[in-house]
Amino acid sequence: MINQRKNFVKPDWLIITIYILLAGFGIGNILSSSISGEEISLFQFDNLYSKQLVFFMVSLLFAFLVMTIEVKFYERFASIFYLISIVILLGLFVFGKRVNGALSWYDLGGFNLQPSEFVKITVALAISKYISDFQTNLKKTIDQFWLFLIILIPVVIIILQNDTGSSIVFFCLFIVFYREGISQKYLLSILAISILAVFTLKFSALHSFLFSLIPTILFFFTKRKMNNKILKGFAISSLCLLTCFFVDYGYKNILRTHQQNYIKVWLNLEKDPAKIKKMERTVLYNLNESKKAISSGGVVGKGYMKGTRTMGNFVPAQHSDYIFSTIGEEWGFVGSTFIIILYCILIYRIVYLSEQQKNKFSRVYGYSTASILFIHFCVNIGMVLGLTPTIGIPLPFLSYGGSSLIAFTILLFIFIRFDANKINEW
Amino acid sequence: MRRNLFFILIIFVSITFIARLFYLQIYNSKPYSIYEDNAIGKVYTYPKRGYIYDRNNKLLVSNQPSYDIMIIPGLVTKMDTTEFCKLLKIDKTIFKKKFRITSNYSKKIPSVFLAHISKEDYGSLAEKIRKYKGFYIQKRNLREYNTKVGANVLGYVAEVNRRDIKNDSFYSSGDIIGKQGVELSYEKYLRGEKGIKFIQKDRFNREIGSFNSGKNDITAIAGSDITITIDSELQEYGEKLMNNKKGAIVAIEPKSGEILSLVSGPSYDPNLLVGRDRSKNYFSLFKDTIFTPLIDKSLLSNFPAGSPFKIINGLIGLEEGVINENSTIFCDGSYIYGKNKKSMKCHCSGGYKNIYNAISESCNSFFAETYVKIINKNSNINENFDDWSVNVKSFGLGDFLNNDLPIGKKGVIPDSEFYNNWYPDFRWGALTTLSNSIGQGEILVTPIQLANMIAVVANKGYYYTPHVIKNIEGDSISNRFSEKKVTKINKKFFDKIEIGLFDVFINGTAKQLKVRGIDICGKSGTAENFTKINGKKTQLTDHSIFVAYAPKDDPKIAIAVVVENGYYGSTWAGRITSLMIEKYLKGDIKYKIRENSVLNKSLYDEYIKPFSNKPFTINKL
């Protein structure tokens, strides 16, 4: 008991400081982007700003709760949590509420709960549990299969619920697997498939395939000591061909028009000026407005609550997914860079601390936390800056949204709890 | 590698993002300007345009509200044009034309769709205009004239044209700018500073409130009131006298150069050029090619100076010592000169003439003799002529006066170069240019120059640039108007000439025009003039010219009057002069017969002669 109290005051204050900075900054910018020019009535519970403030209070409560619970509890109940969360996710098919086409919300009377945000925590716990299990050997194919299945189940459910953006997040966990000793072939394959996919979309399946032959041939001709050179080369080429045609097919037949358009915009595929003009009013609109708002911020920005495009609500969904454009406009290059550096330090710190964990469970969980934050950071800011395709996922701690703020807080504070406990592991 | 991959990824992504931000926000970003931001609407608030007062603080020009229908063509949606046209009381073709013109100019910038709708129409429109997207009503100030006179001095305001907007970024479509008169000269003071309200707009271009709680807004600053030197009562009287007569009256206060009245005859009511009927009225004034009321004859008409010019020749003769108060000639009704015995007629009573009675009786022979003596004072004719020319110009003739009226003419005072160009063999001299001695020939002056000239005589050797500005609220008037301009003539010679000028009203050409109780000094002029009819130089009835100042010992008014084709100087210009002086110094007119004769006189018959295509006689009383 005495020990625990002592440990309880040993959390990593750097992470907590950054967390509070980001969440506070987020609330401030939500206030700026959700009101429009007029007087602010604080603590009126129908505006986004006050709601987010309440969510933050609730988050802090959860953070406190999370900190009081022992590490062993999470480790022991990881699988249960996972199963419960899958059930809740499946429950959406029956009780879910559709918002913007995605069936990913429970209506809890005034508060919409998005379970997919919380599934990130349980999946992180589940894979930590699985990987840290002494029976698990990541070199074995069967163990790899179970591991992938842990991820794949929620991914498939979420895709079926038409929330493709959220499902992409889980693939970042391959960074964790790689750290924990999975063969680098997987990572290289993902990289190769990504490159091939981009090539296929940009040029054509055939071009892309022909292009893939060059590294394949070079690779097998330079490696002298290898059996069945021709056969392996042929197999890989066939896989490439399959990938290329599958990507092409998927793009044309599986993706919806708006998703196709996001890709068209991202890779500059549309050449017809009339269609581009039309897209400027639809798909491109958000992106252009977001870029315009950021550009107009200049070096030091227009000042808090003085962003003309923010105040005029020029960027749709600016308080949620496009919150970074508010920062860009009102705080300029200086403020935006500061936020990026904060994220950089936060993720770096989590990874650094994870490496110091004596407990494998804690380490894997830390890595998972860092990767989940990292993929959100990459995809969200990349989208707002026009570098990555438009995928609607929130910016951790900053974006408006109760589910995401509470989920990210729990995700983070579980790790802080683990880290605070590391002395006990001696 | 397995441990470091994540660190590398984080650093790589962060650097990429910062680089992208640098590109977007610094490298590829223009300095932010709220004026160019399409998220911010700019609504101008118009300041009060400065009022114009006369020298006795009588309000001449103020403002009245006017309502314009504005259009932003880009926002106009499908609408019931028939109903809209009925509401505005316009034709559908006009609607289409105006819509085309405004949308060609800009789809986003507001333009004036229909200017000056009446107050009654405004009442009914204000409610209904909301139905029509892209249209709104803007209130602005229109000029209101509390006087019916001084149109040429006051000038007028009009909506800015495209060129005005291009030349001065201060203006935007629908603004008012001074186009003539003091409205133009003092535009910068009268207009004030426009205010700007910044309105936050949303992405649908809807206004959603003031930007930054109005902290960036600029409040309008009212234009300065100005006081002009015109005496509106005198101006009104002058315009009345000039009714149905072409010509000009310019009265100046000699001690200050302030213009008391600047009458162009015939004049028009400035109210005609305000409001919706402006162009109709303007066009009908423009069409009047007989009286040409839109041409300000006081500033823009060049006349032969005629006999008043003898004053200058007399002064130069005295100054250069070629004549003195004892110089006498015998006039037998003409001046014979040159080898071919040419003659110049003289209308004086004949006999021995000295400088005094030569002036009062306007003896041509005396001044011809004087002029010859000036030009031939030694063998260097070019130099002598230039000396003469410089002296003449020191009276403010032959050049723009640099006054504060936006229009003017230079007039002509020749110099030696002028004649050297005319006579390539340089065979010219005093006799060739003898007409200059009596203000005919090449000499041309505008009425304001003539008035300034007699002001110099009244001041005995100096003048202040004639001007119409007396006071600008919150500012001082240009110091060029307080700069004394001095002639080269000694004051004592002015005293001598004054004896002759006073005698004009005792024994001379204007002896019937005395005003009891006022000592007037003056000089009449009857100037020959010509026009071209079908390419043929044709002489018209002489211009009636008169210059005067009064009272003699403390001149308060110097005046020049030109009545085109009015024949003898004393006949019309002289009468008008004495009436104006009486009006200004006494306040009311005792000489009713004189007044009525002027008021009832129309010279219309005289003016249509050149247009009649029939032979006509001239110089008939």
**CATH for B220:** 3.90.1310.10
Average pLDDT of the segment spanning B308-326: 93
- Confidence class of residue B252 from pLDDT cuts 50, 70 and 90? very high
pLDDT at A424: 63
Burial class of A286 by CB neighbour count within 10 A (0 to 12, 13 to 18, 19+):
buried
Query: Which of A187, A304, A308, A367 is the best residue to mutate to test the B interface, defined by the most B CB atoms within 10 Å of its own CB?
Result: A308
Chain A 260-289, residues with CB within 8 Å of chain B CB atoms: 289
Burial class of A351 by CB neighbour count within 10 A (0 to 12, 13 to 18, 19+):
buried
Longest CA pairwise span in chain A (Å): 75
Q: Are the beta carbons of B14 and A344 separated by less than 8 Å?
A: yes
Q: Which residues pair with B345 in a beta bridge?
A: B334
Burial class of A335 by CB neighbour count within 10 A (0 to 12, 13 to 18, 19+):
buried
pLDDT tens string B88-145: 888 888 888 888 888 888 887 788 888 878 777 888 888 788 888 888 888 777 888 9
Nearest to A336 among B21, B201, B208 (CB): B21
Residue B97 lies in a domain: yes
Average pLDDT of the segment spanning B64-87: 85
8 A C-beta contact, residue A58 and residue A407: no
The answer on pLDDT for A305 being more than 70 is yes
pLDDT at B375: 93
Q: Are the beta carbons of B201 and A312 separated by less than 8 Å?
A: yes
Q: What angle, rounded to 10 degrees, do the helices at A360-384 and A283-297 form? A: 90
Which residues in chain B have Cβ-Cβ distances shorter than 8 Å to A186? none
Residue A322 in contact with partner chain B when CB distance is under 8 A:
no
User: In angstroms, what is the C-alpha Rg of chain A?
Assistant: 23
Question: What chain B residue is nearest to A181 in terms of C-alpha separation?
Answer: B2
Report the predicted TM-score, pTM, of the whole model to 2 decimal places.
0.69
Share of chain B above pLDDT 70, in %: 100
How far is A358 from chain B, CA to nearest CA, in Å? 15
Average pLDDT of the segment spanning B559-585: 94
Count up the domains in chain A and report the number.
1
- Confidence class of residue A426 from pLDDT cuts 50, 70 and 90? very low
Which residues in chain A have Cβ-Cβ distances shorter than 8 Å to B209? 36-38
8 A C-beta contact, residue A186 and residue A193: no
Residue B71 lies in a domain: yes
Which residues in chain B have Cβ-Cβ distances shorter than 8 Å to A349? none
Nearest alpha-carbon partner for B335 in B327, B348, B345: B345
Residue A223 lies in a domain: no
Q: Are the beta carbons of A302 and B201 separated by less than 8 Å?
A: no
Nearest alpha-carbon partner for B211 in B29, B25, B31, B37: B37
Please tell me the distance from the alpha carbon of residue B312 to that of residue B100, in angstroms, as a whole number: 61
Share of chain A above pLDDT 70, in %: 94
Nearest alpha-carbon partner for B44 in B227, B289, B218: B218
Nearest alpha-carbon partner for B497 in B371, B310, B328, B330: B310
Q: Are the beta carbons of A351 and B7 separated by less than 8 Å?
A: yes
The more confidently predicted of residues B173 and B327 is B327
Average pLDDT of the segment spanning A321-338: 93
Residue A327 in contact with partner chain B when CB distance is under 8 A:
no
Kindly report each contact of residues A151-154 with a partner whose C-beta sits within 8 Å and lies 24 or more positions away, as own/partner: A151/A123, A151/A127, A153/A86, A154/A85, A154/A86, A154/A89, A154/A116, A154/A119, A154/A123
Nearest to B18 among A337, A347, A367 (CB): A337
Q: Are the beta carbons of B2 and A179 separated by less than 8 Å?
A: yes
Q: How many residues does chain A have?
A: 426
Classify residue B429 as left (phi > 0), alpha (psi -120 to 50) or beta.
beta
How far is A370 from chain B, CA to nearest CA, in Å? 9
Which three-class secondary structure string do you get for B389-421? HHHHHCCCCCCCCCCCCCCCCCCECCCHHHHHH
pLDDT at A1: 41
Residue A267 lies in a domain: yes
Say how many C-beta atoms besides its own lie within 10 A of residue B608's C-beta.
11
Q: Are the beta carbons of B10 and A374 separated by less than 8 Å?
A: yes
Cα angle A377, A379, A382 (rounded to 5 degrees) comes to: 95
Chain A 105-144, residues with CB within 8 Å of chain B CB atoms: none
Compute CA B471 distance to the chain's CA centroid, rounded to the nearest angstrom: 18
How far is A6 from chain B, CA to nearest CA, in Å? 31
Residue B114 lies in a domain: yes
Q: How many residues does chain B have?
A: 621
Question: What chain B residue is nearest to A302 in terms of C-alpha separation?
Answer: B32
Query: And the tokens for B147?
Result: 């006087």
Nearest alpha-carbon partner for B474 in B56, B61, B193, B154: B193
Q: What angle, rounded to 10 degrees, do the helices at A115-132 and A141-160 form? A: 180
Count up the domains in chain B and report the number.
1
Query: And the tokens for A246?
Result: 């599958």
Domain span at B118:
40-146+194-228
pLDDT tens string B358-398: 999 999 999 999 999 999 988 888 999 999 999 999 999 99
How far is A161 from chain B, CA to nearest CA, in Å? 30
The answer on pLDDT for A43 being more than 70 is no
Distances (CA, A) of B257 to A301, B458, B469: 58, 11, 10
Which range is least confidently modeled, A201-215, B10-24, B259-273, B354-368? A201-215
Which residues in chain A have Cβ-Cβ distances shorter than 8 Å to B210? 37
Residue A123 lies in a domain: yes
Instruction: State whether residue A322 is helix, strand or coil.
Output: coil
The more confidently predicted of residues B241 and A239 is B241
pLDDT tens string B488-533: 899 999 999 999 999 999 988 899 999 999 999 999 999 999 988 8
| Phi, psi of A298, rounded to the nearest 5 degrees | 65, -150
Q: Are the beta carbons of B25 and A328 separated by less than 8 Å?
A: yes
Q: Are the beta carbons of B29 and A298 separated by less than 8 Å?
A: yes
Interface of B with A (CB under 8 A): 2-3, 5-7, 9-11, 13-14, 16-18, 20-22, 24-26, 28-29, 31-32, 34, 37, 39-40, 200-203, 208-213
Query: A376-415 burial by CB neighbour count: b if 16+ within 10 A, else e?
Result: bbbbbbbbbbbeebbbbbbbbbbbbbbbbbbbbbbbbbbb
Please tell me the distance from the alpha carbon of residue A247 to that of residue A200, in angstroms, as a whole number: 7
Residue B68 lies in a domain: yes
Share of chain A above pLDDT 90, in %: 42
Nearest to B200 among A37, A302, A387 (CB): A37
Residue A356 in contact with partner chain B when CB distance is under 8 A:
no
Q: Are the beta carbons of A36 and B28 separated by less than 8 Å?
A: no
Say how many C-beta atoms besides its own lie within 10 A of residue B168's C-beta.
13
pLDDT tens string A58-90: 999 999 999 999 888 999 999 999 999 999 999
The answer on pLDDT for A236 being more than 90 is no
The overall average pLDDT reported for chain B is 90
Burial class of B483 by CB neighbour count within 10 A (0 to 12, 13 to 18, 19+):
exposed
pLDDT at A37: 47
Average pLDDT of the segment spanning B557-581: 94
Q: How many CB pairs under 8 A join A and B?
A: 119
Please tell me the distance from the alpha carbon of residue B494 to that of residue B457, in angstroms, as a whole number: 7
Query: And the tokens for B371?
Result: 């002029």
The answer on pLDDT for A2 being more than 60 is no
8 A C-beta contact, residue B287 and residue B268: no
pLDDT tens string B4-62: 889 999 999 999 999 999 999 988 877 777 777 778 888 888 888 999 999 999 999 99
The answer on pLDDT for A226 being more than 80 is no
How far is A19 from chain B, CA to nearest CA, in Å? 18
8 A C-beta contact, residue A128 and residue A63: no
pLDDT at A46: 65
Residue A312 lies in a domain: yes
Residue B200 lies in a domain: yes
Compute CA B335 distance to the chain's CA centroid, rounded to the nearest angstrom: 40
Residues 6+ apart with CB under 8 A from A29: A319, A323, A326, A327, A330, A398
Query: Which of B11, B17, B201 is the best residue to mutate to test the A interface, defined by the most A CB atoms within 10 Å of its own CB?
Result: B17
The answer on pLDDT for A369 being more than 50 is yes
Question: What chain B residue is nearest to A292 in terms of C-alpha separation?
Answer: B24
Nearest alpha-carbon partner for A347 in A15, A20, A9, A65: A15
Q: Strands, DSSP E only, in A186-287?
A: none
First vs last Cα of chain A: how many Å apart?
17
Nearest alpha-carbon partner for B495 in B550, B553, B451, B455: B553
pLDDT at B557: 96
Domain span at A323:
2-182+255-425
Distances (CA, A) of B131 to A423, B68, B135, B202, B206: 73, 17, 9, 20, 15
Residue A342 lies in a domain: yes
Average pLDDT of the segment spanning A178-204: 87
Q: Are the beta carbons of A298 and B17 separated by less than 8 Å?
A: no
Residue A9 lies in a domain: yes
Among positive and negative, which fits the CA dihedral A59, A65, A68, A71? Answer: negative
Nearest to A299 among B25, B200, B208 (CB): B25
- Confidence class of residue A257 from pLDDT cuts 50, 70 and 90? confident
pLDDT at B598: 94
Residue A344 in contact with partner chain B when CB distance is under 8 A:
yes
Q: Are the beta carbons of A314 and B37 separated by less than 8 Å?
A: no
The answer on pLDDT for B273 being more than 90 is no
User: Which ipTM value was assigned to this complex?
Assistant: 0.92
- Confidence class of residue A40 from pLDDT cuts 50, 70 and 90? low
Which element (helix H / strand E) includes B558?
A: strand B557-563
Burial class of B204 by CB neighbour count within 10 A (0 to 12, 13 to 18, 19+):
exposed
Residue B355 lies in a domain: no
The more confidently predicted of residues A265 and B257 is B257
Residue A297 in contact with partner chain B when CB distance is under 8 A:
yes
